[in-house]
Structure formats: C-alpha cells, structure tokens
Amino acid sequence: MTQTPVQRPGEDGTTETAEIPAVGTHRADLGPDATTVLPPVPPGTPDDELDGDDADGLAEADEEFRPRRAGWLGRGIVWALLAWLVLAYPVNVFSPFDVGVADVDIASRAVIFAIGGLSLNVLLGYAGQISLGHQAFVGLGAFTSAFIVTNLQLSFWFAVVAAAVLGAVQAVLLGLVSLRLTGLYFALVTLAYGAFAEQTLFGISALTGGEGGKPAPRPVGFESGYSYYYLCLGFLVLVLWLDWRLTRSKAGRALAALRENPRVASSYGINVRSYILVAFAVSGIFAGIAGSLTAHHDEIIVGSSFDFRLALLFVLMTVVGGLRNRVGVVIGSAFFALLEEGAFVEIVESVVTALGFAPHFFQNVLGLPGEFVSLVLGPILLLLTLTLYPGGIGQQVAPVRGWLTGGRFDRHAGEVKEVEVTDVRA
Amino acid sequence: MRSTTMRRNPGPTRAVRTAAALAMAAALAVTTGCGQKAGVAGTLAGSGGAGAGVAANGGVAAGAVDANGMPLTEEGAAGGDLAAGGDLSAGGTSTGGGAGTTTGGTTASGGAGGGAGGGEAGVPGAPGSAAASGPGDTTGVTDSTIKIGVHAPVTGAAAIPQQSFQRAVGVYFDAVNRAGGINGRKVQVIFKNDGFDPNQARTECKRLAEQDKVFLLIGGAGADQIDACARYASAAGVPYLSAGVHETRPGLGSLASLPTYFALSLTYEQQVPLLVRTTKQAFGSDKVALIVADNDSLNNFYTVAEAGMKSAFGANLALSRRIPKNTTSDAPAIATSICQSGAKAVVWNASPSSLLNVSKAMACTVTFIGPGLTNGLNVVADVGCPNVDGALFYSPFPGMDVMRGDGAFVQAYRNKNGSEPDDIGAAMYGMERLVGEIIRATGKNLTRQSFMQTIGKVKTFNTGVYPPTNFKTRFGGTAMNLLKADCGKKEYVTVRRNERP
Amino acid sequence: MILQTLNELGIALVTGTLQGSVYALVALGIVLVHRASGVFNFAQAEFGTTGLFAAYTALTLWGWSYPVAFVFGLAVAVAMGLLTERLVIHPLRNASRVTLLVGTAGVALAAVGFQFWQFNDTLIMTMPKINDGFFLVPPFGAPVTVQQLITFGVLVVASVGLALYFRSPSGLAIQAAQQEPTAAELVGISVRRVSMLTWGIAALLGGLAGILSGPNTTFTAGFLSFGAGRALLPGFMAAVLAGMRSMPGAVAGGLAVGVVEQLGSLTIVAQYVPGPREAVLFVFLLAVLLIAPKGIFVRKAALA
C-alpha cells in the first residue's frame, strides 16, 4: 500500500504536501483500536468534486439544465397527449375509435385498480408489511358501501366515507396483529384472513346477499359510465394527494428512515409502532375507497370475486409497478386492469393486425387463448421485475418522467438495485 | 476551483408548469364544455336509439302493468297463474310458427290490468300499436338484421366445456339465415362468457345491451347469473329469456315481477310435483333424502320441495338439508350423512361439481333425482359414472338419443361446425328455436314491445324440442323431459317426454 | 344434540387425522425449504397440483398405466422444483426474504396460469384412486377411503425416510449447508447442489401430496381450490406449529391442523358461521402465532 501525496493549502496560503496513507491502510502506530484511514478532505473542496463517480476527476456537468424551445414544444405535446389519453379518450371525445359505454367501464376499473395498488403500496412499499389478503380490505369496503346504499338507503357519499373508515379500522386491527409478528408470519395471517373474509365475512347472506350478489346502485348524477369514470378519477387524485402528504409527513419520513436503517432510526426515538399503524390505517382508507368505487361500478358484487387470485393480482400490480413509486404503481395497476378485462389483448391484437399479422395474434400465433394472456403474462412480468428490473414500471418510466418535468432524458434515472421490501421493524 | 451550485435534476421550472397547466385546462375545457356524443344522452335515459331513435321506455317502471299488458306482481307461487291478475288481450290468433295451436287465446277480460294501477290491459290488434308506454323500441333491429345477445358460463365453476358452447351458439339461427332469415331478417348472435359469476354476467349483459345494442338477451345457464342479468335487463327495458330457474330471491323479489323477463321452461319450484311423483313411483316405500345447495335463490325451492316431500313420504323423508356451495372438503361428510340416513333416493338441487364430489364419496348406492339444466348434461354422466348410474334429471330438451333423430338439428349443427352435435348444442338449439318462433310470430313490425306482446298474446309456442310453452305468466313452461343417466353409454337417455306437473 | 356433537367430534378426529396427512406432507416440504433457504415457499402447493395435472394427463390423455403416470407426475413436480430453484431462488439468493416470498408466489401464479391454459377445455377432471375401497369406521361411522389410508402410509414412510436421510452423510451435508454455508463450502459441500437437492425433495413431497389427494374429489384449474392447493394454508399452519424447523413437528402439526379444521364441520359451528372451516383456521392461526409463535411441536434442542 503506497502513500499518496496530497496538496493542501497551508495556513499561510501556500500549498504544502503531506503524505497521507492510502485508503485501507491500517495504522498500527495509532493504537490497537485504530481504524482504517480514510483520505481527509481538504477544506474548500467544492461539493461536486466529492463525487467519486467520474473517472477523469471532472465534476459532472450540472449547470442548471434548461430545455431548448423545441424541447419545450415536445414536452408540451406529450403533456397534452397524456391529458387527452386520461381525460378525453376514455369518454369518447376526440377519439379516433368509438369508445362505448362498456369500454369506459374498463377505464374506470383501471382507475379503481390504481387506487387499490396505491393502497397496497403503502403497506408493502412504505411499511414493508406483506399483505396477501388485501382483497379482503377492498371487499369489506365494497360490501359496506353496498349495504349502506341498498339497505340503509343512505347516500353514496356517506357510504364511501364509511367504507374508508371501516377499511381503516379493519386494517389497524390487522396492524395490531402484525406488531406481534415478523413479516413472513404476518403474510400467513393475511392469507388466512383473506380466505376467512371471502368465505365467512362475505358469506353472511343477510349482509352480503349470498351467491347471487349484493346490488349497489350508482350514485345519483353518476349513473352513466362516462361520469362515473370522472368520479373515479377524482378519487384517484384525492388518493394520490393523500399519499403525497403521507410521504411528506412526519410519519412518512419516519417510515423512510426506518426502511433505510431500522436500528439506527429507532434509536432516534421514532415510535415505530404508531407509524406502522398509521401506514395500515392509510392503506385501509385507500382500500375502502377502492372497494366502494368497485361496488358501485359493478352495481352487483359477490363475495367470490374477492378471492386469492385478486390478492395475488394486487401484489403483482404493486411490485411490477415499482414499489414506492406512485406513477409506476398507477401505470402498473392500470395495465393489469386492462389485462384482466381483455382490453390489453384487444389493443395489442388490433395493432398487430394493422401491422399485417394474422388476426387473433395470441390465439393463432402463440397458441394462447385471449382469456389466459393475463394469467401467463402476470407471473412473467413479476419474475422479470424481481430478477432483472427491480424498479418495475416506475424504473422504465423514470427517464420520461424526468424529461417531462423539464429535466434531461436520463436513461439511468430511477434505477433500483433490488426489490426492497424491508420490514421496518426488522 | 469552480464554484458551482450542486443541482442535479432541477425540478419543473415555472415555464414548464405553466405549459402543463394550460394543456390540462384546455383539455378539461374541451371535454366538459363540448359535452359528450349524442349516444351518451340516449344511454343515460336508458334507451338505445338506433333506428327510429325514440326513447322508448318499454316497461321500465316496476310494479306497474307493463307494455304488453302482463301483470307484474306474481310472487313466486309454484306454477302460479293469473288468479286475480289482469287479463291478456283477447283475439290472439297464432301467427306463423310451426304446428302452433292457440290455446287459451281468450281470457276473461277483467277490466284494466290487474297488478298495480295504470296502463292498459293488453291491446288487441297489430303488434307495436299503442302500448301503454309509447311507440316501439327497435334497438337491435334493422330492416335486414336482428341482433341477439347470449351469455353463458364457459369458464368458472360450471361444468360446460368451452368449445361446446362456442359451437352450440348460433346453430339454429345459422340454419335460419341460410334459409333466408326470419321474416326477411337475418339473425346475428353475439355470445359472451359470464364466467359463472353474477358480477361478470351483469357486466356482459350491460355491454351487450348498451354497447352492442342487441335486441334481446338470452341466458344460457347458471341461476345466479340469469338472475343478475334478468334484473339488469328489466331495468334497461331489454327482453330477457332463459330456461326456468328459481322464481324469487329473498330481498330482491320475484323474477315474475320483472317486466321483461320470460322463463322458457318450468322453474325449479314448478318442477317439485314432478320430482315428488317420480320419486314416489320408484321409491314409494323407501327412505328418501332432500339435498339442496344453500344459495339463497334456492330458499324458496327448498321450502316448497320439503313440504312436498314431507306430504308424500312422511317419516320416510329421512334427511333434509342444505349443503355448501363448495363441497371439496364436505363431500365425504355429506355422503356419509346420506348413507347413514338410509335413503335410497336423493332429491338433489345443487351444482354438478357438488353432485360429482358427493357421489364419488359415497359408500352406499343412491339414485339422484332432480330438476335439470346443468345436472342433466352428458359431461356429468361422463365424469360421474359409475356413481351416478340411474340418476334421473328433468331437462327442457330431450337427451341426445332423441335429438340425434332430429334431422334439422343434426344438419344445422354439421353445417355450422362440421362435427357431430352434443347436448350443449341441443340445449342452445332448443332455446334459439323457441326464441326464433316468437320472433317469427311477431311479424315484420318487430320491436321490443311487439315481441313481448306477442308472447303474451300467442302464449303457446311449440317447437318440438322444448316442450310447448304457455305464457299465462312469465314462467311459460308447461312440461319437462325426464332423462336418465346410462353408464353403459355414458350419457343421459330420454325416459319421458313432455311430462307435465 | 350433545350425542350428535360427540358423534361428529369422533368423526372429525378420524377424518381430520387422515386429511391432515396431506397437510403434513405439504408442511414437511415447507419446513425443509425454510430451513434451507429461509424462504416461505408459496409454490409448495403448486408442486402438488402440477404433479397431479401431469399424472392426469399421462393417465387420461396419453393412456399410460397408473404406476407410470404416478411416477411421471412426481417427476414433473420435481422438475418444477428444480426449475424454481434455478430460475428464481438462486438469482434472488441475496434478496430479502420477503422478496423471495413474492418470487415463489409468482411461481405459483405461473403454474396456475399454465394449468388454466392447458386444461381450459376439460372443466371437470377426475383422477382414479389407487384403490376405490371405502368403509365406515365404527363406532362413529367415519368415512375412510383406502386412498386416504395409503396417503397416511406414504406420510409415515416419508417421515421415516427423511429422518434416516438426514442422518446420512448427504443429509448431514444439507444441515451443515443450512447452518453454516461458508464453513460448509470450505469443507467441500457445494451449497448450490444442496440447495437444488433440498428443493427437489420438497417438490417430491409436494408432488406426493398432490397426486395422492387429487383423486378424492373432482378438480379443475384454480387458485388454492382443491387437493394440495387447498392444503397450502393448512400446510403453512402446520409448519408454524413446528416452529418452521422441526420435521417431526411438521407431521404432528399437519395432523393437528387437520383435526382442528374438521371442527369447522361440526353442525353447531357450521349452522351459524358461514365458511366455518376458514373461520376456524384463521382463529387457530392467530391463536398459535400470538400465544406460541415459536411453535408448539418443537423440541427444545431444536430451538437453540
């Protein structure tokens, strides 16, 4: 190990050379508990030179980046396109294809799934608690809302609030259980709870209508598919805002700190238990909202819809979307919703047919009937995400996102080393 | 040393944010300000609007007398007929159709329609004329085509192979179209899978009605799905026909109160006398059992059946219970309870997979007897033999041993699919043929109202596959065919045809 | 009433023990994998259903003889286990355990998807039993099939076999690799091969559970709906009872969970509670985890 000469400004303005031992040298003369030596940082070193990334020692060019005129134009067009895609196309305005009333229901479902995905994201991404029974949270919200509107004859707005509250209560109860268990055992409890909810809770015929289902009429003024879509979008915006506030709040920052280094963070006096319960409560609220919207979207709900398959779908949506990445989770959830409804297959097949391939591409060329594309594609995407692209869709979208918000198009933005589900109490 | 500020990715600058806000504002203004396409308003009002584009409202109002004069309150009594109810138009001559005889074309005209107030009792004369609710709704009908929607379980917990259904749907109408159509119109059938899930069934029916704009809806099988769709269809004013299933659901009311629902064969409750009689004939002095699934739609059936069995068998009704929907783990216990009761015959109304599970788990031998539809399908015989040997199930259509002799059916199936028909094909053929008869009887002036009025006026349609109907009430069945599981042939054979309760 | 309940309790005991042998087989696989990789293997049930579907295909669609179809099913299950290890477990070996759980859930999902795809046309499938014998056991008249007795026998043989195996050199190697991977590598034990061996054995156990329990009912592709699939949650519960580490505990736990689950079928419970079995299992799991999280059927020495 050699010694490295370093130029330092001396006290009187001259530079002097000092022999600094290289990194990794063990200084025995400093005593038995001397630690290895790190190179000192000369005072006055500008921040950019602290970065060890660049090979040639030059700081990265981080002058403030301003897009050119053409860049502004490009960004504006894409923003407008996005706005059109979300706000106008599903309701058949300025739409090249005829989006019928049933098709817009698919779009509504995608929005509802997005809310559900954000709900699980709070649990799985922020608090690191794995929930394999998340469909029970949503289901309880759905049946609560349906019961309140159909049996108690109260307004939808009251029902959705009640569903959110009940969702939070249920989630906090499970959260209390989770405080006593480590992550994997809690996963088992949620699995058992999901089955219990589907068979027992949703099997109480007097409340849930049995196998024939429970009616849940649309709220007044939102009967049409188009207006219901906007209603769902409104709730999604609300949920996104709440999620944003959560991450910015003390609870959110505490959870982030806990994820980084649980022991250090808890030694700072962070009340782990209450923040976890907060995470559960928020997750429950979101799930309750999603449930209520689902109930009134379908207008009739059955307990058997909230089965283990849906639980796995939620996990898929969140993980493939990219944990802790709101945009990714929303896109991932929407994607899986479209996949479930068969819309994805239709879209792909129409594009492929337009390009000249055989129609019914999946069936004829791949031998995979349309209904099963989702069942096959889901796990493939999950395994890809886990092994190759841990940031999920969020990672893929991050460069575009950075660009859209006025920055550079950075290919490596959003890269994540692995899918981190860190139990914050570990 | 350079002094630079350390800023990596600057956040959105003011200019970017303004541009984005302007874009969103513009988009919002456009979407809300310009309003929606014309079709949407029509949908909001609950009608299609093709053709004449009149916002017809065929019988949406529940509880009133509907457009074709049929009274609306018929609380699911077994085979209940028009007691104190309203009347139906006199002078119903049978138009077109096969060997259709008109029976009961006249009834006592008890003044304006029974049921709840309002509305005209059936108006005699040309279909489509002044019904209580206005001019005819011609959604799904053009001068040259009629669009029909069918939903049935292809995936999910039903036992029906997917390929079978896809081959079966449209066989009859294909043949009809080849021969020139019905009254000059070709029939187009759109089929959707309802996944054996009422939720999905309703979604598909909604899509068929509101987006594909079908003229009427047909429910293939699956009581819960039929229930969900029927209720939707009635709210949307779309005629809905299915084989007979249950009559009422607690809390939601009777299917007979739905203004656009018609059952094409006997309901479960109506079949109770048949079941009791058949069981009594074969097992008169033996112990018997009654097993019904615990769907709440079967609550009424259970009550009626238990009463019927008790009065016929007395103490010999050794076991009477409901079983859960999912019998994978309960099957041995259920089978044991049956065997321990000593019953030789079991009157059974539960899903085919439950039947298979329970029969497989039995240590003793019993004969299953029950109302048909799904339990009488050959796939059950195929998988369930030898345990279900000798099982007797009632079905609206005869077994394949008879249907193979129906030349028109076999030919039509071969023409469409290039293969030999199966019993799913027969089931759909029977239903489509019956619906086709009604359409033909309605004549050239085909609207939803005239279609429904024709049912009420003509009442009897005899197609030779399904037993003849009699639409005194919305439950138009009159008889069923008795099928028996023959494990030698691994299919159901016909024992009796058109047996009336 | 009391008499009937006692009668049913007796039946529950017998039926539960027999049903529990399937759960025990699944639990053995779960415990094995957990000791080897620290992973909660969510695909354990799907080893069973995949094996069952493979055996069904061989027997019914290809017309092979029963023993050959049986072995084929087991082979397919083992292949699936090895594939899982290679494609999912090994690349993720340094990831968090929760990530691995999600990975195995993905494998399970893929297996079910594949089953749906291939078996979409035959919606009701049955597999003949090894022996159709059936009798009612006095004094309660509990229904017992010979198939169930065979399953129980296989469980006994498997447990004994595993116990003996773990005393053999390669079994000891597995334990060494589980406990001290670095040290084991140093003495020449290939941790990689040990991992594959473990997953292979677990998949074999799962396959046995599937092919032996499948013939008891009709089945169709689905999530956790029949046979070994339904046994996933009870299997995990049995593994929990075993503290996730004791193999004999897994066997005892499986039988115990089987009996507890049958308590849900008692008339006094089933009358008032919809979905009684799931309710009983949930309450039981909560009770066990909250009261005795380290397991009940665990040897004190194993806890150390």
pLDDT by residue for chain B (501 residues), tens only, comes to 444 444 444 445 555 555 555 555 444 444 443 333 333 333 333 333 333 333 333 333 333 344 444 544 433 333 333 333 333 333 333 333 333 333 333 333 333 333 333 333 333 333 333 333 456 888 889 889 999 999 998 876 666 777 888 899 999 999 999 999 999 999 999 999 888 889 999 999 999 999 899 999 999 888 899 999 999 999 999 999 999 999 998 878 899 999 999 999 999 999 999 999 999 999 988 999 999 998 888 999 999 999 999 999 999 999 999 988 777 778 888 888 898 889 999 999 998 888 988 988 888 889 999 997 788 888 888 888 888 899 999 999 999 999 999 999 999 999 999 999 999 999 999 999 999 999 999 988 999 999 999 999 998 999 989 999 999 999 999 999 999 999 999 899 999 999 998
Residue A39 DSSP code: P
Question: Does residue B264 belong to any structural domain of this protein?
Answer: yes
Chain B contact set for A65 (CB, 8 A): 9-10
Q: Which residue of B has its CA nearest to A405?
A: B12
Q: Domain with B277 in it: what CATH number? A: 3.40.50.2300
Neighbors of chain A with 3 or more C-beta pairs under 8 Å: B, C
Per-residue pLDDT at C177: 79
Q: Are residues B386 and B438 in the same domain?
A: no
**How many A-C residue pairs are in contact by the CB < 8 A criterion?**
149
The answer to whether the Cβ–Cβ distance between A378 and C109 falls below 8 Å is yes
**Looking at CA atoms only, how far is residue B332 from chain C in angstroms?**
7
Which residue reads 């195996």 in tokens?
A: C165
Report whether B354 contacts B327 (CB < 8 A).
yes
Least confident of A15-29, B467-481, C224-238, C241-255: A15-29
Do B360 and C265 lie within an 8 Å CB cutoff? no
Model pLDDT, residue B163: 80
Q: Which residue has the tokens 């009616």?
A: A215
Work out the percent of chain A whose per-residue pLDDT is above 90: 33
Select from B258, B332, B314 the least CA-distant residue to B70: B258
**Phi and psi, residue B242, nearest 5°:** -155, 170
The predicted pLDDT at position A407 comes to: 77
- Mean pLDDT value across residues C110-118: 86
Structural domain containing residue B229: 49-268+397-479
In-domain check, residue B145 = yes
Helix axes B423-442, B448-458, angle to 10 degrees: 100
3-state secondary structure of C299: coil
Instruction: Please say if the pLDDT value at position A339 is more than 80.
Output: yes
pLDDT confidence tier of residue C201, bands split at 50, 70 and 90: very high
At residue B52, the pLDDT reads 33
On whether any CB of chain C is under 8 Å from the CB of A372, the answer is: yes
CA distance B381 to B399: 12
Closest-CA residue to B387 (of B368, B372, B400, B371)? B368
Which CB contacts under 8 angstroms, 24+ apart, belong to B277-285? Answer: B277/B501, B278/B369, B278/B392, B278/B482, B279/B309, B279/B312, B279/B313, B279/B345, B279/B347, B279/B369, B280/B312, B280/B313, B282/B345, B282/B367, B282/B392, B283/B344, B283/B345, B283/B367, B285/B316
Predicted pLDDT at A19: 61
Residues of B in contact with A63 (CB under 8 A): 4
Specify whether B144 is located in the same domain as B115: yes
**Which residue does chain A place closest to C241, by CA atoms?**
A185
Q: Do B416 and B488 sit in the same domain of this protein? A: no
Question: Cβ contacts of residue B226 below 8 Å, gap of 6+?
Answer: B201, B219, B242, B245
Measured between CA atoms, the residue of chain C closest to residue B158 is: C123
Domain co-membership, B81 together with B129 = yes
Range from A34-38, A211-215, B169-173, B198-202 carrying the lowest mean pLDDT: A34-38
Between the alpha carbon of residue B47 and those of residues B236, B237, B479, the distances in Å are 7, 8, 35
Q: How many domains does chain B have?
A: 2
- Residues of C with CB below 8 A from B160's CB? 123
Contact: C97, A375; criterion CB under 8 Å: no
The one-letter amino acid code at B63 reads G
**Closest Cβ opposite residue B361 in set C125, C143, C225:** C143
The pLDDT value recorded for residue A367 is 66
- The pLDDT of residue A111 is above 90: yes
Q: A338-364 b/e with 16+ CB inside 10 Å = b?
A: bbbbebbbeeebeebeeeeeeeebbbe
What is the model's pLDDT at position A75? 85
Q: Which of B14, C279, B492 is nearest to A406 (CA)?
A: B14
Other beta carbons within 10 Å of B166: 14
What span, in angstroms and rounded, lies between the C-alpha atoms of C260 and C246?
Answer: 20
Chain A CB contacts of C89 below 8 Å: none
Q: Which two tokens stand for residue A175?
A: 């959260």
Q: Do C275 and A203 touch (CB under 8 A)?
A: yes
Nearest to A386 among C103, C278, C289 (CB): C103
Instruction: Give me A100's structure tokens.
Output: 């019928």
Pick from A174, A180, A382 the residue to mutate for testing the C interface (most C CBs within 10 Å). Answer: A382
* CA B305/CA C255 separation, integer angstroms: 40
List CB contacts (< 8 A) between B325 and chain A. Answer: 211
How far apart are the CA of B384 and the nearest CA of chain C, in angstroms? 9
* Three-state secondary structure call for residue C137: strand
The whole-angstrom distance between residue A223's C-alpha and the CA centroid of its chain comes to 30
Per-residue pLDDT at C223 = 77
pLDDT for res B428 = 92
User: Contact at 8 Å (CB) between A286 and A239?
Assistant: yes
Closest Cα in chain C, distance from residue A424 (Å): 12
> How far is Cα C114 from Cα C50, in angstroms, rounded to an integer?
9
Q: How close, in Å, is residue B315 to chain C by CA atoms?
A: 20
**C265: Cβ–Cβ under 8 A, 6 or more apart, which residues?**
B329, B330, B333, C8, C12, C276, C277
End-to-end CA distance of chain A: 39
Q: What is the pLDDT of residue A273?
A: 85
pLDDT at B41: 32
Q: Please check whether residue C282 touches A, CB under 8 A.
A: yes
Question: B244 to each of B231, B474, C171, how far by Cα in Å?
Answer: 15, 10, 63
Alpha carbons A249 and A254: distance in angstroms, whole number = 8
User: Is C266 near chain B, with CB under 8 Å?
Assistant: no
User: Are B73 and B94 members of one domain?
Assistant: yes
What is residue C181's predicted lDDT score, i.e. its pLDDT?
A: 76
Contact list, B207 vs chain A (CB under 8 Å): 100, 102
Asked if B206 and A92 come within 8 Å (Cβ–Cβ), the reply is no
Domain boundaries, chain A: 103-341
Shortest CA gap C25–chain A (Å) = 18
Write out pLDDT tens, residues C139-187: 777 778 888 899 999 999 999 998 888 888 888 888 787 777 788 888 8
Across the range A200-223, mean pLDDT stands at 86
Q: Do A83 and B24 count as a contact with CB atoms less than 8 A apart?
A: yes
DSSP state of B10: -
Subunits with 3+ C-beta pairs closer than 8 A to B = A, C
Question: Does residue B19 lie within any of the structural domains?
Answer: no
In chain A, which residues have their Cβ closer than 8 Å to the Cβ of C279?
196, 199-200
Taking an 8 Å cut-off on Cβ atoms, the answer to whether B4 and A63 are in contact is yes
User: pTM for this one?
Assistant: 0.81
Q: What domains are defined for chain C?
A: 2-121+130-303 (1.10.3470)
Q: Are residues B389 and B401 in the same domain?
A: no
Q: Which neighbouring-strand residues pair with C136?
A: C143
pLDDT at B264: 94
Q: Is B167 found in the same domain as B63? A: yes
Mean pLDDT, chain C, whole residue set: 87
Q: Are residues B53 and B160 in the same domain?
A: yes
How far does the CA of residue A116 sit from the closest CA of chain C (Å)? Answer: 18
Residue A219 carries which side chain, given as an amino acid letter? P
Q: Does position A98 have pLDDT exceeding 80, yes or no?
A: no
Mean pLDDT, chain A, rounded, equals 82
pLDDT at A244 over 90: yes
Cross-chain residue pair C11–B333, CB shorter than 8 Å: yes
Place of tokens 């059946």: B305
Hey, which residues does B293 pair with through a beta bridge? B323
**Chain C residues with CB inside 8 Å of B155's CB?**
120, 123
Note the pLDDT of residue B37: 36
A:B CB pairs within 8 Å: 145
Residue to test with chain B: of C18, C125, C218, most B Cβ within 10 A = C218
Least confident of A193-197, A389-393, B55-59, C175-179: B55-59
B248/B362 same-domain check = no
* Poorest-pLDDT segment among A350-354, B218-222, B458-462, C250-254: A350-354
